[in-house]
Chain A
Amino acid sequence: MKLNGAEILVETLIAHGVTDVFGFPGGTVINLYDALYDYQDRVTHYLTCHEQGAAHAADGYARATGKTGVVIATSGPGATNLVTGIATAYLDSTPMVAITGNVASGLIGKDSFQEVDIVGITMPVTKHNYMVKHVEELEEIVREAFQIARSGRPGPVLIDIPKDVQQAQCEFHGGMPKPLLPIPRVSEEALRAAAELIDASERPFVYAGGGLISCSAGEALRVFAERIDAPVGLSIMGLTALDSSHPLKHGLTGMHGHYVASKMNADADLIIGIGVRFSDRATGSTSKYQAKTKIIHIDIDGAEIDKNIDSVISLVGDAAEILPRLTEMVKRRENPTWIAKADLHRQESERFLAQEEMQLHDQDPQAKEEQQLLAQEDMDAQATGLTPQEIIHMVRRYAADDTVVSTDVGQHQMWVAQEYQFCLPRTLLTSGGLGTMGFGMGAAIGASIARGSARTVLFTGDGSFHMNMNEFVTAVTYGLPVVVVLFNNGSLGMVRQWQNLFFNQRYSNTTLERKTDYPKLAEAFGGKGYRASTMKELQAALDAAFSQTEPVLIECLIDSDEKVFPIIPPGGSFDDMIVK
């Protein structure tokens, strides 16, 4: 059967189980869009407002399901608009296939209209990328792209297709998708060595991350941690690997990790890192991080081993395969003294916070009076104001366990990571690696579509929301029940917090003197909008939001001086943690 390049592409997408794609048309993909018109009963194309939003939507679609997300853009500005989205997927290892049109082969290299070297531009932020020179190689390239995107450590792959290649005809073969590339099996000896080290350790600590989500090894992690009675800390990418109610789960570790998780991490004599890259945000100073502990590193990507930290033993492979085997080999044990340490740290942290209040009472009378005044103001604020933590807890009560939550980047992201009680894998979508403000809106849309127009919740800040708020329109267009919970602190809060703590309160360009009326904006875009400055108002807004199927925005007014604590200053260690 002879087909043109555009048709071959769509047929091959269908052969790979693709039912939804995100994108934005233009001159060099007009042939592809023409083919999509023919196939619209089998592939739904979601038109976003901006290619970046489409890329984040494809990314969110992939994160919520594990399937490969697909995004399409035209050449030139369409392609460059994808770059942040591709880099976001790359840094968080999300499987994605990005398809761009390019000018016709004869025009390439001539600075033609809307010509950019997108293959060159995206080389450092893709697992692999292609420029298709001949229509005959297209089908094979697409099959290979899907294979690469999901094999081993997942990631984005870009295929750039000149316009004439989309038009040219050739024989379509219609082969099956390629199997994922094999992952080498870890040897018995290596596993045994790891098991011995674990058995010999007194204070083992499991530090797990996004790798566990990619290979669906959350359950294997639970069984393993229970077997050796080891506390578990998670990177933001791995936060949903274990149910928050699990007694061994101590939640987020790293720069804004929980006090107890950080302390246990620091006290450990053995850290078992699984599906993590020991990024700087997770370790702080690497020399201090590894000074008093041994490290076993388990990861699917061999290049992660000894890249950021030195491990004593490394196991390169699929955690879903390694963990059950390791669990069999290690001794079952209970470790009450070690586990009790966590309780000690918990009391310690409570004492710290209480001490802070005590100190106020010891000050000189005038300062004391001032403090009391401030405290009174605080109380007044509490009567009307909202704290980020309260908002998150309240939203959690409305959301179902399987509701997908996405975030943007900043303080609100960290509060969600610290406070929201996640139960199921793939329910938190957040830009952990690149830290992309504007990620959340697209991701919430992609996740909603991936889960059959399910309700999703976006937690965002006033800064981040302004970056990609245009995609609220996309949620309206497709009738997706996305609930946007916007923390309005009138500032770029996270940067302001750093300026407060480390730059003598010199608030350079972080105060947002904007006049945006968020509820009105939501209404103008065709959704519903509410403003909440008290718990009562928030509840009323959430009642409304969770009982309707259109997109809703809830603006929550919070104090601009709310901070994310604990914080480990950049380059510091767990000992440098600032608690309050």
Chain B
Amino acid sequence: MDKVPEVSNFTLSIIVANRAGALSRVTGLFSRRGYNIDTLTVSPMVEDPTMSRIIMTSSGDEATRKQIIKQLDKLFDVKEVKLI
């Protein structure tokens, strides 16, 4: 009856305010909700030094992927989340 969900890898681009704690908010969300982080890089944005861009690869089924994006979107330091 239950469909077996298909797990896949995906990459997220997350733009966060360059504030103390912003990165731990993002990574904390992943550990707390049981999502995987496979790789992660952070760099300040050239266009806007008050912002940083996090590029993250993660894995999970479609439902998990959608949840991750919505949960990230709820964080006040997160300005934009995109699947790339």
Interface residues of A, Cβ cutoff 8 Å to B: 119-120, 123-124, 127-129, 131, 133, 148, 287, 291, 301-303, 305-307
Contact = CB atoms under 8 A, between A and B. Distances in A.
B76 A303 contact: no
A302 B70 contact: yes
Interface centre among A127, A287, A305, A307 (most CB of B within 10 A): A307
A123 B24 contact: yes
B1 interface: yes
B25 A123 contact: yes
Contacts of A131: 20-21
Interface string B35-66: 00000000000000000000000000001001
Interface centre among B21, B24, B67, B77 (most CB of A within 10 A): B21
B1 A123 contact: no
A307 B74 CA distance: 14
A133 B70 contact: no
Given A287-B1, A287-B2, A306 B66 contact: yes
Determine the main DSSP class of B at the interface with A. Answer: helix
Contacts of A307: 67
B73 A303 contact: yes
Contacts of A303: 67, 70-71, 73-74
Nearest to A133: B20
Residue of A127, A303, A306 with most chain B CB atoms under a 10 A cut-off:
A303
A119 B21 contact: yes
A124 B76 contact: no
Given A287-B2, A306-B66, A128 B76 contact: yes
B32 A124 contact: yes
A303 B63 CA distance: 11
A120 B73 contact: no
Most buried by A among B20, B32, B67, B74: B74
Contacts of A301: 74
The 7 closest A-B pairs by CB, nearest first: A303-B70, A128-B76, A124-B32, A303-B71, A123-B28, A302-B70, A303-B74
B45 to A, nearest CB: 21
Contacts of B28: 123-124
A306 B74 CA distance: 15
Nearest to B72: A303
B31 to A, nearest CB: 9
5 contacts: A120-B24, A123-B25, A128-B77, A287-B2, A306-B63
A127 B71 CA distance: 11
Nearest to B67: A307
A303 B2 CA distance: 22
Given A120-B24, A131-B21, A306-B63, A148 B70 contact: no
Nearest to A302: B70
A124 B28 CA distance: 7
A290 to B, nearest CB: 11
Contacts of B66: 306
Nearest to B77: A128
B65 to A, nearest CB: 11
A411 B72 CA distance: 37
Given A119-B21, A287-B1, A303-B71, 19 more contacts: A120-B21, A120-B24, A123-B21, A123-B24, A123-B28, A124-B28, A127-B76, A128-B76, A128-B77, A131-B21, A133-B20, A148-B76, A302-B70, A303-B67, A303-B74, A306-B63, A306-B66, A306-B67, A307-B67
